[in-house]
Amino acid sequence: MYVSKLVEDLPPSGIRAFFDLVLGMKDVISLGVGEPDFVTPWNIREKSIYSLEQGYTSYTSNKGLAELRKDIVKFLGWRYGLTYDWDRQMLITVGVSEALDLAVRAILNPGEKVLVHEPCFVAYAPLVRLAGGEPLTVVTTAEDGFKVTPEKLDKAWKKGTKALILNYPCNPTGTSYTRSELLAIAKVAKKRDFLIISDEVYDELTYDFEHTPFATLPGMKERVIYMNGFSKAYAMTGFRLGWVAGPEDVIAAMTKIHQYTIMCAPIASQMAACEAIRHGAREVQTMKREYNRRRNFIVESLNELGFRCHVPQGAFYAFPQVTDRLRGQSSLDFAKDLLEKEKVALVPGNAFGATCSDHVRISYASGYDNLKEAVARIRHYLASRPA
Amino acid sequence: MDEILEILSNDARISPEEIAKMTKKPVAAVKQAIRKYEADGTIVQYKAILNPEMIDSACAHPPVRALIEVSIVPQKDVGFDRIAERIYSFDEVKSCHLVSGSYDLLLVVEGQNIQTVAEFVSSKLSSMENVRQTTTHFLLKKYKEDGRIFKQAVRQKRLNITY
């Protein structure tokens, strides 16, 4: 065996086999996808094509194109009233995924701890482990709308905690936070002296209130490693482009790792991102209105079917509790059965943490006709189950 | 624009019940709003957008369309409106705009073939009092109309399941 102990000990993804099953199947209505169903707006694709034609095929500076970093900083000022130094406090990364990896590697000494909420995106805890740290789970529940609260943080906190990874709006729950809820979390961060690694990649898809970036809270900018990207808001997942803003020393440390591992994000993607941030605002609003309607439709339909579904405030996921309605059938069995009998794909909750096995994640980043058909098939599935 | 109108202008087949679900409004309120829009002329009609090439390929003699630029002499008090009305009232005229620039009205005219359109221009349009000049452009191919592209749209190629 040549594989390191650290990697070998990483928990395997329990539902890899299920994923393979779905990927091998044809003519499936998929509610299992974590990316927009819109094609990247044409002006953004066209800019990327044009940059290739013009011969932009080289490396960029490690930190990313100056033009793009300046544009993002300008955008943050206009959108949220935030100020960052474009050269010392901003780094362009290969998606938010890379930014997360860099962040934990830049701040953790061996054995230090990071608070991670559950359910959450699958990569958080493994990335902490790969960086030599120890993830501390903050379990959130449907009863609280899957929110991280000061009480839960206090309970999970241990000596040696360096940071909290917070994702809002959240994949897979759609949960987001109002300003006052965030202020309560910030208070704990100050008292316990830890950083916030804030993954706000779904920020533009917040439906019921204004999104508040964590870095805008009083006294928090120096404590927040603020990351976002172009994947969700501009439907640019395949371009693999994200950014991170934060305290100068942390960004410098992250840049050091980035320059040894990645060098720089692909230039064609960076050029496309320049176009997105300058001229993408209208398209974003159109997509957001469409997602909001789909959200309302899917949440009400799921509740009508007898599942318990809280109202997600953002992103494009619903995360209903299904096992009560299914009288004991596990969510993984339900997902397999539904795939086999009705050809509808969704993601069983245990993908997002051991405590989520009563739930499934339903992505409404799918056309309205698809959603309607999927709901009809789930209804048919429930009706044809033996009593 | 009211969200109900936004939804219907994208897909007029969506029912009031479905719109109610999407917008979190009571069904009765949605129905009432639609009735109001229909009554006050905000919603003019519901129709399917057809791909002319698909229809034309099944048709032995597809209709012909032309863009026609019309220069006219405006009339006292009523400007262009009266003469425009005389023109757009013809069934052959499918659309009619008053435009800025080197001519005044821009029409889309449809006929069974080139001869019928030419006949319409010479006998009805050019001969009309106050019409100074016309220029006819026959349309060869339609790529996009009202925001719809007629070629099969580019579809996103996603995997069926991702985190």
Q: Test B160 with A293 for CB contact under 8 angstroms.
A: no
CATH number of the domain to which B68 belongs: 3.30.70.920
Tally of domains in chain B: 2
In this structure, are B8 and B74 located in the same domain? no
- Indicate the range of A21-30, A142-151, A318-327, B141-150 predicted with least confidence: B141-150
> Nearest C-alpha of chain B: how many angstroms from A37?
7
Q: Test A35 with B162 for CB contact under 8 angstroms.
A: yes
Of residues A283 and B80, the one with the higher pLDDT is: B80
Alpha-carbon distance of A263 to A271, in angstroms, equals 17
Residue A172: its pLDDT value, please? 97
pLDDT digit string, tens, across residues A74-124: 999 999 999 999 999 999 999 999 999 999 999 999 999 999 999 999 999
Q: Test B154 with A301 for CB contact under 8 angstroms.
A: no
Q: Test B154 with A39 for CB contact under 8 angstroms.
A: yes
In this structure, are B82 and B18 located in the same domain? no
Q: Which of A220, A178, A176 is nearest to A199 (CA)?
A: A176
B110 touches chain A (CB under 8 A): no
In this structure, are B33 and B67 located in the same domain? no
In this structure, are B112 and B34 located in the same domain? no
Residue B59: its pLDDT value, please? 73
Q: Can you list the positions of beta strands (E) in chain A?
A: 29-30, 90-93, 113-118, 134-139, 161-167, 195-199, 224-229, 242-245, 317-318, 344-345, 347-348, 360-363
Residue A354: its pLDDT value, please? 87
Alpha-carbon distance of A57 to A266, in angstroms, equals 8
Of residues B1 and A73, the one with the higher pLDDT is: A73
pLDDT digit string, tens, across residues B5-48: 999 998 999 999 999 999 999 999 999 999 999 999 999 999 88
* pLDDT of A245 higher than 70: yes
> Which whole-number Å values give the CA distances from A249 to A103, A110, A218, A252, A256, in the listed order?
12, 19, 20, 5, 11
Set of chain B residues whose Cβ sits within 8 Å of the Cβ of A33: 158-162
Please check whether residue B104 lies inside any domain of the structure.
Answer: yes
Please check whether residue B152 lies inside any domain of the structure.
Answer: no
Confidence of residue A17 (pLDDT cuts 50, 70, 90): confident
> Residue with structure tokens 């927009």?
A36
Q: Which residues of A touch B (CB under 8 A)?
A: 19, 22-23, 25, 28, 30, 32-35, 37-39, 121-123, 171, 289, 293-294, 296-297, 300-301, 345, 347, 351, 368, 372
Please check whether residue B162 lies inside any domain of the structure.
Answer: no
Please check whether residue B48 lies inside any domain of the structure.
Answer: no
Alpha-carbon distance of A98 to A127, in angstroms, equals 10
* pLDDT of A14 higher than 70: no
- CB of B7 within 8 A of CB of B21? no
- Indicate the range of A269-273, B135-139, B156-160 predicted with least confidence: B156-160
Percent pLDDT > 70 in chain A is: 99
Residue A286: its pLDDT value, please? 86
In this structure, are B32 and B69 located in the same domain? no
Residue A346: its pLDDT value, please? 95
Please state the rounded mean pLDDT for residues B71-85.
88
Whether ipTM > 0.90 holds is no
Confidence of residue B1 (pLDDT cuts 50, 70, 90): confident
In this structure, are B67 and B120 located in the same domain? yes
Set of chain B residues whose Cβ sits within 8 Å of the Cβ of A294: 22
In this structure, are B84 and B127 located in the same domain? yes
Of A1-5, A241-245, B137-141, the range with the highest mean pLDDT is: A241-245
Please state the rounded mean pLDDT for residues A365-384.
95
Please check whether residue B17 lies inside any domain of the structure.
Answer: yes
Residue A226: its pLDDT value, please? 98
Q: Which domain holds residue B11?
A: 3-39
- Whether the CA torsion B99, B102, B103, B109 is positive or negative: it is negative
Mutation to test the B interface, candidates A170, A286, A297, most B Cβ within 10 Å: A297
> Which whole-number Å values give the CA distances from A297 to A173, A365, B7, in the listed order?
16, 12, 13
For residue B146, give the DSSP letter.
Answer: T
In this structure, are B12 and B88 located in the same domain? no
Q: Which domains does chain A have, with CATH numbers?
A: 5-40+282-383 (3.90.1150.10), 43-280 (3.40.640.10)
Q: Test A289 with B6 for CB contact under 8 angstroms.
A: yes
Residue A173: its pLDDT value, please? 97
In this structure, are B35 and B61 located in the same domain? no
* pLDDT of B58 higher than 80: no
Please state the rounded mean pLDDT for residues A153-168.
98
In this structure, are B136 and B79 located in the same domain? yes
In this structure, are B87 and B139 located in the same domain? yes
Alpha-carbon distance of A265 to A71, in angstroms, equals 16
Q: Test B3 with A289 for CB contact under 8 angstroms.
A: yes
Confidence of residue B153 (pLDDT cuts 50, 70, 90): low
Residue A387: its pLDDT value, please? 64
Set of chain B residues whose Cβ sits within 8 Å of the Cβ of A289: 3, 6
In this structure, the strands spanning A347-348 and A360-363 are: antiparallel
- The partner residue sitting opposite B158, judged by closest CB among A22, A35, A347, is A35
Residue A89: its pLDDT value, please? 98
In this structure, are B9 and B80 located in the same domain? no
Please check whether residue B161 lies inside any domain of the structure.
Answer: no
